[in-house]
Amino acid sequence: MSRLLINHNPCLRRLIEEGFAVEIRSNHLLVHSVPYVNGKREIALGTLVSELTTKAPGILDAPGTHQIHFVGDHPCHTSGEKMVQIANVTGEFKLLEDLTAQHYFSHKLEKDDTRESRGYIDYYEKIVTYVSVISNPAKAIDPAVDARTFKTIEPIEEDSVFLYEDTASSRAGIQKLGAPFKPMRIAIVGLGGTGGYVLELVSKTHVLEIHLYDGDWFRPHNAFRMPSAASRAVLDQQMKKVEYLAEVYGAMRKGIVPHDVMIAENNVQELAGYDFVFVCVDKGAIRQLVVNTLATTSVAFIDVGMGVNLTDDHERLWGTVRVTTSTPETRALAASSIPKVDRDDEIYGSNIQVAELNCLNATLAVIKWKRLVGFYQSDKFEHETTFNTAINRLNSKEGMDQ
């Protein structure tokens, strides 16, 4: 795959974003898995092969010809008769050492005003037109067949942390908004319910590294309040949380670094080396250790908390989630909002956690982080946000340290 061509030519990127199985080989554009009907009236898959004409290094011109090569049998109508409207030359066309086509088709577009034929504006128009002509009979037999396979492709950017192309950002046209994430090294302290969802969301960004700190085992109760769906076989492997999560998210991206340890006096200073820290622990002593350690650094961090209780009649639950942001500018305000050891023990005494509240807590934290980074517009500068299930309301505390 030529990353330079894809990055510089919207017509090729558009083909990828729309799901075509695109490959570029030695200045040839290949589109695989194109459905067609063969002479036996069966649906088969072929490959279109077009030249690539450039007008400058890495910049494509309009297609140099309206003709195109095809790897496969000659496409037919639903009756099994050959599609003579595109027929041109049939033979053995050795295009590359490992690429031989069997046909060279010809098909021009018609102008709407004069009905005169014309060439193609770009390679997107050329490919989509040929796919439509060749695949229409196949679709008449089976409407489900489609050349848009949406198969994964290698990342277009050479330094991408992902193992396949991030077509979500490119389809939305927001690739450049992800640039501030690329050099970042993030730490998540505590990978229980909320920490797991923080990882779920942060892993979909282009951050360079995500470091996971947790020394606990991955147990069934964790599976019920964390993202993904762990099988019994996985749980029976007796894995550590960070080991399990690194394996799950390592299937999508690089840079997931597990640390099978609890944060303590002997390693808390490691957190000062990251660009941002998410504190997702339910032990007040550990939380205060992290807060006190990072207070004298330039590292911004977000502390999350959740308290869920049974009503007096034990018939319902009520709870709150909290997101507190500590930056060098809001240290004192954040410290006053983050629970101390005694209050923390009271809040978490029942240890009730519910997946949707873990998810909400993490979501609010990641949205705040993305606002700080500049991904989202931010018109408020709150240092704490809380949500109460009973009144269904978000509340924020604003202010800056003096």
- Total number of domains in the chain: 2
Q: How many CB atoms lie within 10 A of CB 319?
A: 19
Question: What confidence score (pLDDT) does residue 220 get?
Answer: 92
C-alpha to C-alpha distance for 270 and 248, rounded to whole angstroms? 24
Question: What confidence score (pLDDT) does residue 342 get?
Answer: 44
**Which of these three, 126, 141, 156, is where a domain ends?**
141
| Same domain as 187, residue 89 | no
Bridge partner residues of 89 (DSSP)? 104
Nearest Cα residue to 20 out of 170, 146, 175, 160: 146
Q: In which element (H, E) is residue 209 found?
A: strand 209-213
C-alpha to C-alpha distance for 17 and 345, rounded to whole angstroms? 50
C-alpha to C-alpha distance for 217 and 68, rounded to whole angstroms? 57
| Same domain as 132, residue 225 | no
Phi, psi (rounded to 5 degrees) for 62: -65, 155
Angle between helical axes of 10-17 and 123-141 (0-180°, round to 10)? 20
User: If the chain, 402 residues long, is cut into consecutive pieces of 10 residues, what is the mean pLDDT of each piece?
Assistant: 74 92 91 97 97 90 95 97 95 93 93 70 96 97 96 79 83 81 96 94 96 95 90 94 96 96 96 97 91 94 89 83 93 86 46 86 96 91 90 83 50
| Same domain as 323, residue 360 | yes
C-alpha to C-alpha distance for 361 and 381, rounded to whole angstroms? 18
Question: What confidence score (pLDDT) does residue 336 get?
Answer: 86
| Same domain as 130, residue 186 | no
Confirm whether 133 is domain-assigned. yes
| Same domain as 65, residue 182 | no
Bridge partner residues of 76 (DSSP)? 37, 82
Residue position matching structure tokens 């089976």? 142
Confirm whether 153 is domain-assigned. no
How far from chain centre, in Å, is Cα 213? Answer: 23
Question: What confidence score (pLDDT) does residue 341 get?
Answer: 60
Confirm whether 160 is domain-assigned. no
What is the token pair recorded at 235? 């749980």
Confirm whether 155 is domain-assigned. no
Q: In which element (H, E) is residue 96 found?
A: strand 89-96
CA distances from 41 to 33, 34, 38, 82, 276 (A): 17, 15, 5, 10, 60
Task: Print burial letters for 190-215: b (CB count within 10 Å at least 16), e (below 16).
Answer: bbbbbbbbbbbbbbbbbbebbbbbbe
What is the token pair recorded at 253? 């991206």
Q: How many CB atoms lie within 10 A of CB 382?
A: 19
C-alpha to C-alpha distance for 388 and 127, rounded to whole angstroms? 53
Indicate the residue type of 29.
L
| Same domain as 213, residue 112 | no
Strands 28-37 and 43-51: antiparallel
Query: Are the CB atoms for 202 and 291 separated by under 8 Å?
Result: no
Question: What confidence score (pLDDT) does residue 167 get?
Answer: 79
| Same domain as 185, residue 107 | no
| Domain CATH code at residue 238 | 3.40.50.720
Confirm whether 308 is domain-assigned. yes
Question: What confidence score (pLDDT) does residue 110 get?
Answer: 77
Question: What confidence score (pLDDT) does residue 113 get?
Answer: 57
What is the token pair recorded at 25? 């080989």
Nearest Cα residue to 386 out of 324, 338, 336: 324
Confirm whether 149 is domain-assigned. no
Q: What is the CA radius of gyration of the chain?
A: 28
| Same domain as 358, residue 211 | yes
Query: Are the CB atoms for 358 and 282 separated by under 8 Å?
Result: no
CA distances from 328 to 114, 262, 285, 333 (A): 68, 25, 22, 11
C-alpha to C-alpha distance for 282 and 360, rounded to whole angstroms? 16
Residue position matching structure tokens 């609010």? 364
How many residues make up the chain in this entry?
402
C-alpha to C-alpha distance for 293 and 326, rounded to whole angstroms? 12
Confirm whether 98 is domain-assigned. yes
| Same domain as 231, residue 106 | no
| Same domain as 233, residue 121 | no
**Which of these three, 141, 157, 186, is where a domain ends?**
141
Nearest Cα residue to 279 out of 329, 224, 334: 334
Owning domain of residue 67: 3-141
Question: What confidence score (pLDDT) does residue 5 get?
Answer: 78
| Same domain as 195, residue 132 | no
**Which of these three, 81, 107, 141, is where a domain ends?**
141
Query: Are the CB atoms for 67 and 105 separated by under 8 Å?
Result: yes
| Same domain as 172, residue 137 | no
- Give the number of C-alpha atoms closer than 13 A to the C-alpha of residue 29, restricted to the C-beta side: 27
Confirm whether 291 is domain-assigned. yes
